[in-house]
């Protein structure tokens, strides 16, 4: 079924997901109503039964979302959505399958499955038709993939077939007004000939020199952007890998196995550009880089020893119940160790001395005066454990402390505002010159010189939005909605570019039933409307079920 799923996602989400086999687990847990205590031993486990799925269980909910993501990948051939959108589809999918169970709809038959698979975009070739080789490659990849299995794919596809049956039962007749058809025809089949002036924001450098009063006002209005978040003050005990290198020994078989595990990590010396020598044999390629491989393996083993030593220290601190302060200093001194200071760091950015690790930052913010040391963490130089000292609360800095950043933000904010103003000026100037008979390219060049910005002008041959060329992206296309022949659009800004569109010609199609496309577009809109009714029903089921289980999500 190329259903509302594909239509909705294609129309609203822009960035294509990676290939199916890189599907990752969405690591978030749905929260229903007030649900404190998730993940804490002192609270009761939450049971929130949602059409046969416990939304209070990370495992159950994770499976629900993974199935939904796999469904979308197979159905649309690769579509992106954020976590919230994926969650909504996962819940609607569960509701639809529950309804299929209530209606006693059987599982998909082998014939239905074959027909369904042949219409999936993920298996379509360049001609849009089912590609047997692509399907065979997909199945072969599943054999070596440790995540998605053939069983997972078969289960999800069978569920999607049943969901399609439910959707078909819920679809209404899909009433469409003739005016709706005419509007859609006009939007898709109008033939445009346009010229586009692209204004480069990077070339726009207006002088911006705020007074102290203006800068202070801007800072007060945007103080939240400069608040310094809570920061941890801490020390660390360092275990550099270099200190363990002397005790590392490697054998030739170990070195060769280390190389064979990832030969691309050790490319052979580059050949001269004019060399006609054949590629070296595997043995020769290894021999050429053996010293580097051996050094890398020793470094790897030294890092493991450093991590083990750090882990042993953390364990000993725990076992011996070593208190912070003098007792810790004495304990470390007995092992020829000492703490080193760390500059205060936030939860978003870990200590710079340890590579800015987010894992270390997260662990450090869980430490307290009672549990003052962390577990062992790998660092760029080896390994370390963090020793908690305290926490600096969030604070609003004085303007003088962040003046450079505030000034940069003010200048950029003002530059953006002036760029929008420039768009209005350029539009008026282009319109005036075009009315005087100037060619679009010449008018754009004159406008660029007057504004001291870079403008690229080009004319796009006749097209419709149904078959628009690459030069007409979404930003340019959006300007056509209210553009009449002979007009210059307002400037639309996207990706550090401003777009001004001049309509050289505009030829609308026949908007009555005499147009052969009228019946085709009416059928498409009717199908979309009908599918929307089914989607609305699923959404209502989700809302009602979430409301029903909300009390169950609250701890007793």
Domain ranges across the chain: 4-174+527-553, 191-210+403-507, 231-270+281-392
Strands (DSSP E) along 230-295, which ranges? 231-240
What confidence score (pLDDT) does residue 2 get? 34
What confidence score (pLDDT) does residue 60 get? 87
Structure tokens at 445: 């060049």
Task: Please compute Rg for the chain using Cα positions.
Answer: 32
What pTM does this model have? Answer: 0.59
Exposure string (b/e) for 361-385, b if CB count within 10 Å is 16 or more? bebbbebeeeebbbebbbbebbbbb
Query: Within 13 Å, how many C-alpha atoms sit on residue 399's CB side?
Result: 16
Quote the DSSP letter at residue 322.
Answer: P
**Which residues of the chain have a pLDDT value below 70?**
1-46, 77-80, 143-146, 271-277, 279, 551-556
DSSP run (H or E) holding 187? helix 178-189
Give the count of beta carbons closer than 10 Å to the beta carbon of residue 45. Answer: 10
Pairing of strands 53-54, 191-200: unpaired
Structure tokens at 125: 């070739």
What do you get for the CA distance between the two ends of the chain, in Å? 44
What confidence score (pLDDT) does residue 34 get? 32
CA geometry: angle 214, 219, 224, nearest 5 deg: 160
What confidence score (pLDDT) does residue 79 get? 58
What confidence score (pLDDT) does residue 77 get? 66
Q: Please enumerate in sequence order all residues whose Cβ is within 8 A of that of 316, keeping only pairs 6 or more positions apart, or say none.
A: 322, 331
Query: For residue 476, which of 485, 554, 460, 253 has the smallest C-alpha distance?
Result: 460
Quote the DSSP letter at residue 399.
Answer: G
CA geometry: angle 259, 263, 265, nearest 5 deg: 100
CATH 3.10.50 fits 191-210+403-507, yes or no: yes
For 160-190, the pLDDT digits (tens) are: 999 888 888 887 777 788 898 999 999 999 9
What confidence score (pLDDT) does residue 25 get? 29
Find residue 53's DSSP bridge partners.
50
What confidence score (pLDDT) does residue 215 get? 96
Q: Report the distance separating Cα 444 and Cα 457, nearest Å.
A: 7
């Amino acid at each position: 079924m190329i259903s509302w799923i594909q239509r909705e996602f294609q129309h609203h989400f822009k960035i294509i997901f990676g290939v199916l086999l890189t599907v990752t687990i969405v690591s978030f847990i749905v929260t229903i109503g007030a649900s404190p205590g998730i993940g804490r031993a002192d609270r009761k486990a939450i049971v929130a039964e949602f059409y046969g799925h416990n939304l209070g269980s990370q495992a159950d909910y994770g499976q629900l979302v993974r199935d939904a993501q796999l469904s979308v990948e197979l159905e649309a051939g690769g579509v992106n959505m954020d976590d919230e959108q994926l969650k909504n589809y996962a819940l609607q999918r569960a509701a639809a399958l529950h309804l299929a169970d209530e209606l006693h709809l059987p599982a998909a038959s082998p014939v239905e499955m074959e027909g369904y698979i042949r219409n999936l975009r993920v298996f379509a070739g360049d001609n849009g038709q089912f590609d047997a080789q692509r399907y065979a490659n997909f199945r072969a990849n599943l054999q070596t993939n440790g995540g998605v299995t053939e069983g997972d794919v078969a289960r999800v596809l069978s569920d999607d077939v049943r969901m399609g049956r439910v959707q078909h039962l819920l679809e209404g007749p899909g009433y469409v007004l003739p005016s709706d058809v005419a509007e859609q025809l006009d939007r898709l089949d109008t033939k445009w000939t346009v010229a586009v002036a692209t204004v480069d924001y990077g070339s726009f450098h207006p002088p911006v020199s705020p007074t102290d009063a203006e800068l202070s006002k801007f800072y007060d209005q945007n103080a939240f952007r400069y608040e310094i978040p809570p920061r941890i003050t801490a020390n660390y005990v360092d275990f550099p890998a270099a200190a363990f290198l002397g005790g590392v020994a490697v054998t030739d078989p170990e070195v060769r196995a280390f190389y064979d595990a990832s030969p691309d990590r050790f490319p052979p010396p580059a050949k001269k550009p004019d060399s006609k020598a054949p590629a070296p044999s595997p043995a020769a390629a290894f021999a050429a880089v053996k010293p580097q491989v051996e050094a890398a393996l020793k470094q790897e083993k030294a890092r493991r020893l450093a991590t083990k030593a750090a882990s042993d220290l953390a364990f000993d601190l725990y076992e011996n119940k070593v208190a912070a302060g003098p007792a810790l200093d004495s304990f470390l001194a007995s092992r020829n160790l000492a703490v080193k200071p760390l500059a205060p760091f936030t939860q978003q950015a870990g200590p710079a001395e340890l590579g800015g690790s987010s894992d270390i930052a997260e662990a450090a913010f869980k430490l307290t005066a009672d549990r003052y040391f962390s577990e062992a963490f790998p660092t760029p130089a080896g390994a370390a454990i963090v020793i908690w000292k305290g926490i600096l609360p969030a604070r609003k800095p004085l303007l003088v402390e962040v003046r450079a950043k505030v000034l940069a933000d003010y200048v950029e904010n003002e530059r953006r505002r002036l760029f929008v103003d420039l768009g209005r000026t350029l539009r008026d100037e282009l319109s005036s010159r075009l009315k005087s008979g100037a060619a679009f390219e010449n008018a754009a060049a004159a406008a660029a010189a007057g504004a001291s910005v870079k403008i690229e002008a080009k004319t796009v041959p006749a097209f419709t939005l149904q078959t628009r060329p690459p030069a007409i992206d979404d930003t340019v296309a959006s300007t056509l909605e209210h553009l009449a022949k002979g007009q210059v659009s307002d400037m639309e800004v996207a990706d550090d570019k401003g777009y001004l569109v001049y309509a050289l010609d505009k030829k609308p199609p026949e908007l009555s039933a005499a147009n052969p496309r009228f019946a085709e577009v009416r059928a498409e809109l009717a199908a979309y409307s009908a599918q929307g009714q089914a989607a609305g029903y699923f959404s209502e089921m989700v809302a009602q079920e979430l409301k029903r289980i909300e009390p169950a999500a609250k701890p007793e």
